[in-house]
Amino acid sequence: MNTATHWIGGRHVAGTAALINVVNPATGEVIAQVPAGTTVDVDHAVAAANAAFAGWAATDPAERAQVVGRIADGLRGRTEEIAATITSEMGAPITLSRTAQVAFPVAVAASFAALAPDFAWTEQIGNSLVVREPIGVIGAITPWNFPLQQIVSKLAPALLAGNTMVFKPSEIAPLTAAILAEVAAEAGLPPGVFNVVHGTGPTVGAAIAAHPGIDMVSFTGSTRAGRQVSAAAAETVKRVTLELGGKSANIILDDADFPEAVTRGVAMVLTNGGQVCGAWPRMLVPAARQDEAIELAVAAAAAYTVGDPTDESVHLGPMASEQHRQRVNGYIERGLADGARLVFGGPGRPGGLPEGAYVRPTIFADVVPDAVIAQEEIFGPVLTITPYTGDDQAVQIANSTMYGLTGAVFGSHDRAMAIARRLRTGQVDVNGAHWNVLAPFGGYKQSGNGREFGRHGLEEYLETKSIQG
């Protein structure tokens, strides 16, 4: 069994004797262990990051971009190894691990490397020279659902901007972090620029958020944990960016291509087992066409095979942990108790899968907008279908949660675009538009603050100085 280490100052550091088990959620088997980091480990990593900062910040942006580009190349070259690691540590189907869990972060890193030549690092405004400079040491804390994507989305712009980093991966899916550290070192990243400290949120995460030697915290995770990070960071008035929960709505208009809209909507709530912050777990349909939407949704969900995530034919693996399986199953039971109409799936494990953290993909219909399952983030393969009457009511329902991360509208182009502008959410897909790696991503309301990807994502990791001459 593999025992991972911290990565501090460009070398492996064992940490304390206390260890955290990494469990394969498909089998319940302990596949590795990582050290249970302490505040002392965080102190060492912060010291290494601070020592490396001046040299890395002074490095020409073009050279920093070349390193980020080599990181993208290195990750691409280890696609199979990384995909297999992610599948074993958090249960993503192996095909998804290749095509999304690895391919997306490779694309993100490459996109940031390409930004450097045209980015306005300096700007003349009257008699002032405006200079964009690195912030300092970045503390990064990420979840388990996309373990490589989440950190590369922070690391690539942070490095390009000239910052150094202390990173805490999720203890549920921490193994990819070791591969990333190796790739970064092989790409020519100087020792201490990127440091990895394993451990739990209450210990290592809290220490990072509050540390006076860290100048900014970038956190992705639940809204509850994001509030705690913000409170801890406020003591030292450090910058905080948060990418938090979501409960996004997919509005299907009466003039939409219903088969296309419903099928894509189901895919967006079942991909990665629904463990996607930008998923569309609420499907809003015209009341007169709810039965049609139900029939299409059930047919689409029935085509998804649940099972061993190492099987190339499987579409849905287990939840990332047994604890999370119980949480998702509890929401399914809550939906039944509250009177939502179950039209597919239900509580309990799928047939033929008595072991492992599996849940049944589930669809509820006639879900009232203020139902618990329509308001709280389930983070699992659970779709709610809510009927509406008229465009205004659809927009009102879509905007009725505390979240505002993503959303979707299907219908005639001009009408759908008009409704997209009315949604209080950071990103809206119209008629299944493709993901744009250069477009800003982030939330309104309690889905967070700050943006990732492209120029907007790079700017989050820069300070602005004006020099009058």
Q: Which residues are catalytic?
A: 243
CA 372, CA 100: separation in Å to the nearest integer? 30
Count other Cβ atoms within 10 Å, centred on residue 19: 15
Whether the Cβ atoms of residue 275 and residue 25 lie closer than 8 Å to each other: no
Residues 6+ apart with CB under 8 A from 46: 137, 166, 211, 213, 214
Bridging pattern class, strands 362-365 and 341-344: antiparallel
Q: Is the dihedral of CA 271, 274, 279, 280 positive or negative?
A: positive
Count other Cβ atoms within 10 Å, centred on residue 133: 15
CA 379, CA 387: separation in Å to the nearest integer? 22
126 class by beta-carbon count within 10 Å (0-12 exposed, 13-18 middle, 19+ buried): exposed
- Three-class SS of residue 375? helix
Q: Which two tokens stand for residue 439?
A: 């477009």
CA 213, CA 49: separation in Å to the nearest integer? 9
What single string gives the DSSP state of each residue in 196-224?
Answer: E----IIIIIHHHHH-TT--EEEEES-HH
The beta-strand segments (E) located in 253-376 are 282-286, 341-344, 362-365
Run of H or E including 405 = none
Cα distances (angstroms) measured from residue 355 to each of 349, 352, 360, 405 = 8, 9, 13, 34
Backbone phi, then psi, for 190, in 5-degree steps? Answer: -65, 150
- Please give the DSSP secondary-structure letter assigned to residue 21: E
What single string gives the DSSP state of each residue in 49-98?
Answer: HHHHHHHHHTS-HHHHHHHHHHHHHHHHHTHHHHHHHHHHHH---HHHII
C-alpha count within 13 angstroms, C-beta hemisphere, residue 319: 23
Count other Cβ atoms within 10 Å, centred on residue 125: 8
CA 376, CA 209: separation in Å to the nearest integer? 26
